[in-house]
Amino acid sequence: MHSLFSAYPFVLSEAAICERLRGNDAITLHPTLFNSPLIYDESAAKLLSSITHQYIDIAREFEVPIIIAAPTWRLDAQRVAAADVPVSINRDAVDFIQKIKQDAGYEPVYVTGLLAPKNDCYDPNAALSFGEAESFHATQAEQLAEAGLDLLTAQTVPAVSEAEGMARAMIATGLPAVIGLCITREGKVLDGTPLDDAIDMLDERLDGGPLGYAVNCSHPSFVNAEQMNPRALSRLLEISANASSIDHGELEHLEQTAEDDIDEWADAMIELHKTHGVKILGGCCGTTDRHLRSICEKVRQITR
């Protein structure tokens, strides 16, 4: 993966597939596993596949690499055991995406496995300690690593404590690990830790083990990159941003998807890339293929 980032100045990642499915009346998401079990439903799997192909096609059009996530976000051992799904669901989800990659026939597609915090992504008080988190997430991390991935990604982690434990479990597999934190509009992890302090703290405690860090499920304006120390900023590898600058708590209670002006959103993303060196750009809540295309068009403009 290090060679990927040295070879390419910009890497695309997907937009929010689960959120797009949530708005489809023909789709019912699982109450605890969200979109993961859809891989076993023929019609739903076709829709999931078509959206993923749509994103890969954008990367192909603009001749950029793309990171696609297997739908494993809530497939920790505890949730899987409590649900009526095959115990092989992590591997099956990875195989599902690998088949899409194979069918797409586009070489620079990299597949990541997603891990989520144990409890509410937006409640830092419910986050695990690092010891609890390492134990809790180890089984899924091992299953994903055995399924044949390019990297692992922790998403929407609300507290540094759980991020550390997740990172330890992920790094132990030998795969590159990206640690994704959820932040406030003041540029702080939801537990109140400034983003650059969180990155420095995690790097110190993990001996620099993660491939890098990410911000997700937050608007690009929340990063406040100009206020971060340069060392921590250099370790911020990725942002998968919400389409709206509304706070997380408000977004959760909206009945329909919210989004700001796409052009302004993409400009904020490009600023993080061009000025502050954030290499991987993608979307989270409220984003679609339109957002990815806007990013790619603007990247093309600045590289001409």
0.85 exceeded by pTM:
yes
Q: Are strands 212-218 and 66-70 parallel, antiparallel or unpaired?
A: unpaired
DSSP 39: G
pLDDT tens digits for 9-58? 999 999 989 989 988 999 999 999 999 999 999 999 999 999 999 999 99
Query: What pLDDT score does 30 carry?
Result: 97
Q: 3-state class of 213 per DSSP?
A: strand
Structural domain count, the chain:
1
Is 254 a residue whose pLDDT tops 60? no
CA distances 255 to 23, 157, 235, Å, are 10, 24, 36
The range of the structural domain enclosing residue 16 comes to: 2-303
**Alpha helices, DSSP H, located in the chain:** 2-7, 17-22, 42-62, 77-82, 89-104, 130-146, 160-171, 195-205, 230-234, 248-252, 262-274, 289-303
CATH number at residue 149: 3.20.20.330
The residues that bridge with 177 in the sheet, in sequence order, are 152
Query: What pLDDT score does 249 carry?
Result: 59
Is 1 a residue whose pLDDT tops 90? no
pLDDT tens digits for 206-234? 999 999 999 999 999 999 999 999 999 99
Is 258 a residue whose pLDDT tops 70? no
Average pLDDT value over all residues in the chain: 95
Q: Is the Cβ–Cβ distance between 289 and 55 less than 8 Å?
A: yes
Question: Mutual orientation of helices 289-303 and 262-274 as an angle, nearest 10°?
Answer: 50
- Give residue 165's Cα distance to chain centre: 18
Check the CA dihedral 39-219-303-152 and report its sign.
negative
Alpha-carbon distance of 248 to 268, in angstroms, equals 18
Q: 3-state class of 272 per DSSP?
A: helix
